Amino acid sequence: MHIFAIANQKGGVGKTTTTVNLAAALAARGQRTLLVDLDPQGNATMGSGIDKRALTQSVYHLLVGLATLAEVRASSSAKFDLLPANRDLAGAEVEMVELERREMRLKDALAAHADEYDFVLIDCPPSLSLLTLNGLCSAHGVVIPMQCEYYALEGLSDLVNTIKKVHANLNNDLKIIGLLRVMFDSRATLGHQVSAELEQHFGDKVFKTIVPRNVRLAEAPSYGIPGVLFDKSSKGAQAYLAFASEMIERVKTM
């Protein structure tokens, strides 16, 4: 079981879109996949076709010890399993502070199911909070989606420092798997410049796959279907399918 946190403390950079579509693409490639929604916004839950307003048990209940993983787990019609979330999860942030092993609650919950999945993908909230810390403490690696814009590199250093600290103090396994360029606009000169700069700084930590800006990926969540299945022939879907193949190759070397 390979566990990856999809993280970037900025909002709106494509974390959820990447998590949902990578999960669907991995499942389409025959990989047993679990998606963990760690964001109280519940966007990954809705995008997977599960109604966040109708949940009786959610990741909140799992993290505070009110339910088991098996009780919380739902299955998406896109052939992956889901630990769904809604705004209840914001409460976990506060309640977990008092609990033992507060950074390890998700890791401990996943450990009992290690032989059931090939991939676990964790959609992190846009913060460096206790929820994100639970994601980073559970993971073998971090996938960082980013837009190739002027300020992209600025925010990156905070995240890289957090990952270094977690690696040193809480989770020796943790490493950056790679940076994924998303919402890429091939007509913008700046995008190409930032993209080249990323390759220069981070070398083979930059994934080969580039996800283009594609309206079909943005439309899919309102239908509760991952973009990869909503319009399989779209450029966005094709990119995430290619990214899944790249991830499958990448884990072979881990």
Size, binding site for Mg ion by CB under 5 A: 3
**Contact with Mg ion (CB under 5 A): which of 2, 10, 15, 181?**
15
Question: To the nearest whole angstrom, how small is the minimum distance from the Cβ of residue 24 to ligand ADP?
Answer: 14
| Interaction residues for ligand ADP, span 61-120 (CB under 6 A) | none
15: nearest Cα among 145, 197, 109:
145
| Interaction residues for ligand ADP, span 32-61 (CB under 6 A) | 43
**Contact with ligand ADP (CB under 6 A): which of 85, 109, 236, 241?**
236
Of 60-68, 106-114, 152-160, 208-216: span binding ligand ADP (CB under 6 A): 208-216
Asked if 122 and 139 touch (Cβ cutoff 8 Å), the reply is yes
Question: To the nearest whole angstrom, how small is the minimum distance from the Cβ of residue 144 to ligand ADP?
Answer: 11
**Contact with ligand ADP (CB under 6 A): which of 2, 7, 16, 247?**
16
Asked if 124 and 132 touch (Cβ cutoff 8 Å), the reply is yes
Of 104-112, 136-144, 152-160, 206-214: span binding ligand ADP (CB under 6 A): 206-214
Q: Write 182-188 long-range contacts (CB < 8 A, 24+).
A: 182/13, 182/14, 182/17, 182/18, 182/145, 182/146, 182/147, 182/211, 183/13, 183/14, 183/147, 183/211, 183/212, 183/213, 184/147, 184/148, 184/210, 184/211, 184/212, 184/213, 185/212, 185/213, 186/212
The answer to whether residue 213 forms part of the interface with ligand ADP (CB under 6 A) is yes
Which residue minimizes CB distance to Mg ion?
16
For every residue of 193-251, DSSP letters joined together read HHHHHHHHHHGGGEEEEEEEP-HHHHHGGGGTS-HHHHTTTSHHHHHHHHHHHHHHHHH
154-193 footprint of Mg ion as x/- string (CB under 5 A) = ----------------------------------------
Task: List the single partner that 34 binds among ligand ADP, Mg ion, none, CB under 5 to 8 Å by kind.
Answer: none
Asked if 121 and 23 touch (Cβ cutoff 8 Å), the reply is yes
The smaller minimum CB distance to ligand ADP, of residues 169 and 245, is found at 245
**Contact with ligand ADP (CB under 6 A): which of 110, 182, 198, 225?**
182
Neighbours of 219 (CB within 10 A): 15
The answer to whether residue 217 forms part of the interface with ligand ADP (CB under 6 A) is yes
Cα–Cα distance for residue pair 39/16, rounded to 1 Å: 9
The answer to whether residue 17 forms part of the interface with ligand ADP (CB under 6 A) is yes
Q: Which two tokens stand for residue 109?
A: 């919950």
Name the site residues for ligand ADP (rule: CB under 6 A).
11-17, 43, 126, 182-183, 211, 213-214, 217-218, 221, 236
Name the site residues for Mg ion (rule: CB under 5 A).
15-16, 43
